[in-house]
Structure 1
Amino acid sequence: MKYKIKKTVLVFLTAVMLFGCSKPDDYKKYLDGGDILYSGKLDSVKINPGNNRVQLTGLLKADPKINRIKILWNDQKDSIEYSVNMNTDSRKFSQIFNVEEGVRSFLVYTFDAEGNRSIAVNAVGRVYGPRYAASLTNRVIGSATQANGETAIDWLTIDPSAGPFATEIRYNSTTGLKTVRVPIASERTVLNDLAGTASTISTRTLYLPTKSSIDTFYTEFVQVGVLKDVTAQYMLNTRIPFTASVKGDRWGIPTGWTTNDAVRNFRQAAGVFYGGVDAWFGGPQLAMEAGWSADNMVTITDGKIYQSPVLPAGLYTFEMDIPDCTAGGDFYTVAADGDGIPNTGNIASSLAYAKTNAPGTHKITFTLSTEKKVSLGFVGNVPNKGAGDGTFWRISQVRLKYLPKTN
């Protein structure tokens, strides 16, 4: 009995030593049916996604017997094979093949000439396609304005999670149709060669779903109108230093602008009143002001400063820069039909208006279906609060921008 126990222990230890010094699959050699031979498997397998296709890469082991590679997916219902010549081919394996969109699991085998295959290598990757492409959005332009030979495009931010990396702009340049690409991080793009007759540009956004993607996805081109700065064409005396037809030491009456009696509230001399242009505080600039005096610069009620150009059909933006004003005042920027602007109590009858009673750049927009006269300007109520106090606003520049009407 003691001898049998020793013999059993010896057999067990011998088996442990044999299997301990062997590869994990070597035990299969000792199964019934004789030896099982394996070709060298593909190492370092990676899946790089594309548009209804993938790139599979890996490293071939230095096994001269390998002569083909087989890749299976879709529960092994789909497959593709590639011939390999270990004498001439690179050990770096790389192939691109078509696969339907979705998350896919791949099995990769190598084979030798006798049909012996390697141990399976599993790799998982995502394939992109129409569903992903349909979810992509074009980067939005906040504004595109042409002035002084330059077209400034201001971009809105875009969600980076889907992989946008650039935007292409296609436009008619001074030398013909042109396409430029700008990084997605750009906040402003300036074109120096947009044709003077061009009223639109087209843009599309480029996406890489992952950094290793082998294909770029594109949104459809979207056409965007380019506003033309037509201030000089339709308006006069539009920025610092504003000129005055008559002026005193500080106040004057602006050239090219219509002002009503309410605006001209500064008594320059007996029976002589100025207002509308203020030469102080970095001026001369357009202004209305009342107060700081008990006997001069009386309250302004529905004071008006405006111009009345004849404008062609199209979309317009009227902008103004306010460097300083009494916060919360009753001041409006207005665009109105015809020759004149309404009182504040009837402001809703305007083509467009906005309460512009805070420092900064403000704008209103309006559309004309036909050519017509339009009055552009300002109306406000500016109270005199007595000696030592008052109300005011100032305008340092105005701009008129135009997008032609398209059929």
Structure 2
Amino acid sequence: MQRAFIIAGMLTLLFACTKMDEYRDKYMENGSIVYPGKMDSVAAFSGKNRAEIRGLFTSDPKITKYKVFWNSRQDSIEVPVTRTSGVDTAKVIIPDLPEGLMSFEIRTYDAHGNISIPVNTSANVYGDLYQSALINRGIANAEMQDDGSALIKWADAGSDAGTVSMRIKYTDNTGVAHDTLVLSVLTDMTTTLPAFKSGTGISYQTAYLPNATAIDTFYTAFEAFSVKADVTALYLKNTGPFDRATYDGGRWGTLAAPWVTSANVINHSGYGGYASETWLNAGGFLVMESGWSGTANIVNGKISQTTTLPAGNYIFQVACYTEALDPVYIVAAAGSALPDISGLSGALGYGSFPSSKYVSATVSFKFTLEQEEEVTLGFLATMTSGNQYWRVGSVKLIKN
């Protein structure tokens, strides 16, 4: 009985080997299956409507080409390979890709048409959608410095923003144009532009990488930005301490050009608009006074000067002391004259002195010019409510 079992087992094993031989003969008529070595260290890198595939050939010397497939294998590119005795690098650009996540399949081939097992990788592809979302890095402040340079303080950038650099175009104080590239620092970043031409601005763009290994850099459009500067000396004269044209030998006088003083402000026996105020030991002042010692009231009294300003944003600023009872205005108006108080709404801009008496203050307002034009800057007041007086020690014009 035991011998019968042994014989049966041997017959079964023989039958199985016969079937295996038949399978081998059917499917391996041309010999064993050969797989070329696959590409090693494969990576895909993002680009602008393209991607780059990189990898290494480290072993199989028989590889003659490789193919990259994408778009569900509907598209492919073939790259010939010439192997050396060492490690060879594979690198190919896949162009004309749509924006979004793209998957790639890489296979190698030998001269006999044998194909390697696949290697898969993926990368985000960027394009117009990403580009449209980019904005210039923010500027927290840009201002002239005492040494004649311009200091730009950049807004902080997030670590995932992809900000690479900023390119700045500007003109120096000799008229020479500069084109400067500064590498981005995420926080507390400042840039100094030496010998900057006061009253001008910068034009700048920002460069971005969508991720750290991207092969393409994206750029914003150039954008203009004003550099805050004291342009008083460029456009105004006799700005304090104030010079006089005439003087009574004591306290009162009239302001020297280019200031123009309305006749009703000259209410101290032919003098007015200027006072020496010698007890302050600070030079001459621009003033209006009424009521004291029977001095005549002032209605729509004006002290102003006219200049031509280029397009831009401006701040008119004055240092004042007031004992006024009625409103006192500082004004910017288009043209060669200030309006009356009733026409203030048509001015380019205006501000007012503090309403309390015995107050020193710095008063300012902003105005904008869309184009170069003639502008009149100055002071406007009606003073009819009793003894009143105010003085100004200096004026400033700041281009912002």
- Whether TM exceeds 0.5 here: the answer is yes
Q: CA deviation at 1:235?
A: 2.2
Deviation at 1:69, TM superposition (A): 2.0
Q: Specify the SS of the correspondent of 1:309.
A: strand
Instruction: Give the counterpart letter for 1:190 in structure 2.
Output: L
Q: 1:109 to 1:349 in 2, by over 3 A?
A: same
Displacement of 1:115 after TM fit? 2.9
Aligned pairs (5 A) from 1:168-179: 168-170=167-169, 179=179
Q: Quick one: which of 363, 366, 373 aligns to 1:363?
A: 366
Is the aligned partner of 1:213 residue 2:214? yes
Deviation at 1:46, TM superposition (A): 1.8
Residue 54 of structure 1 pairs with residue 48 of structure 2: no
Give, in whole Å, the separation in 1 of the partners of 2:321 and 2:37.
Answer: 81
Residues 239 and 395 of structure 2 are in contact (CA less than 8 Å); yes or no, is this contact kept in structure 1?
Answer: yes
Question: Normalized against structure 2, the TM-score is what?
Answer: 0.63
2:311 to 296, 303, 315: 315
The match for 1:76 is: 73
Shift of 1:121: 1.6
Q: Report the CA distance shift for 1:33/1:348 in structure 2 as closer, same or farther (over 3 A).
A: same
CA spacing shift, 1:338–1:59, aligned 2, 3 Å: closer
Alignment of 1:1-400 (within 5 A): 33-34=27-28, 35-88=32-85, 90-102=87-99, 103-138=101-136, 152=150, 157=155, 163-170=162-169, 179-183=179-183, 190=193, 192=195, 203-221=204-222, 231-232=232-233, 234-239=235-240, 242-245=241-244, 255-256=256-257, 257-258=259-260, 306-311=303-308, 314-315=310-311, 317-321=313-317, 332-337=329-334, 340-354=337-351, 359=362, 362-366=365-369, 374-379=375-380, 396-399=394-397
Pairwise CA distance, 1:42: 2.4
Cα displacement (A) at 1:104: 0.5
Any unmatched runs of 5+ in structure 1? 9-28, 403-407
Q: Is the 8 A contact 1:323 1:395 kept in 2?
A: yes
Q: Distance in 2 between matches of 1:205 and 1:227?
A: 21
1:14 is aligned to none
| Gapped regions of structure 2 (runs ≥ 5) | 10-22, 355-360
Secondary structure of the corresponding residue to residue 311 of structure 2: strand
Deviation at 1:274, TM superposition (A): 7.5
Look at both structures and tell me which one has the larger radius of gyration over its CA atoms.
2
CA distance in 1, matches of 2:154, 2:386: 43
TM-score by length of 1: 0.62
> CA–CA distance in 1 between the matches of 2:284 and 2:76?
77
Counterpart in the other structure of 2:18: none
Over the aligned positions, Cα root-mean-square deviation in angstroms equals 5.7
Structure 1 stretch displaced more, 229-238 or 53-62: 229-238
Give the Cα separation in 1 of the matches to 2:181 and 2:118: 44
Q: Deviations over 1:282-333 (max 9, x none)?
A: 966967799xxxx89x9x9878664322537x5365433456889xx95543
Structure 1 residue 75, shift from structure 2 partner: 0.7
In 2, Cα distance between equivalents of 1:271 and 1:318: 35
What percent identity do the matched residue pairs reach? Answer: 29
Q: Distance in 2 between matches of 1:188 and 1:276?
A: 44
Verify the 8 A CA contact 2:202 2:227 in the aligned structure 1. Answer: yes
The 3-state SS of whatever aligns with 1:308 is strand
> Which amino acid in the other structure matches residue 121 of structure 2?
A
Say if 1:200 and 1:235 are closer, same or farther in 2 by CA, change over 3 A: closer
How many angstroms does 1:71 deviate by? 1.0
- For 2:237 and 2:177, how far apart are their aligned partners in 1? 35
Q: Deviations 1:78-125 (Å, cap 9, x if unpaired)?
A: 111222333256434333231413221011122233333332221111
Q: Give the Cα–Cα distance (whole angstroms) in 2 for the partners of residues 348 and 281 of structure 1.
A: 36
For residues 38 and 124 of structure 1, the distance between their equivalents in structure 2, rounded to whole angstroms, comes to 23
**Deviates further, 108-117 or 96-105:** 108-117
| Distance in structure 2 (CA, Å) of the matches to 1:310 and 1:82 | 70
- Summarize the Cα distance change of 1:193–1:308 in structure 2 as closer, same or farther, 3 Å threshold: closer
Q: Match of 2:242, as an amino acid? A: T
Count of equivalent residues = 357
Instruction: Provide the rounded CA distance (Å) in 2 between the counterparts of 1:120 and 1:33.
Output: 22
Distance in 1 separating the partners of 2:251 and 2:372: 42
- Judged with a 3 Å threshold, the aligned counterparts in structure 2 of structure 1 residues 99 and 316 are, in CA distance, closer, same or farther, namely closer
Structure 1 residue 144, shift from structure 2 partner: 8.6
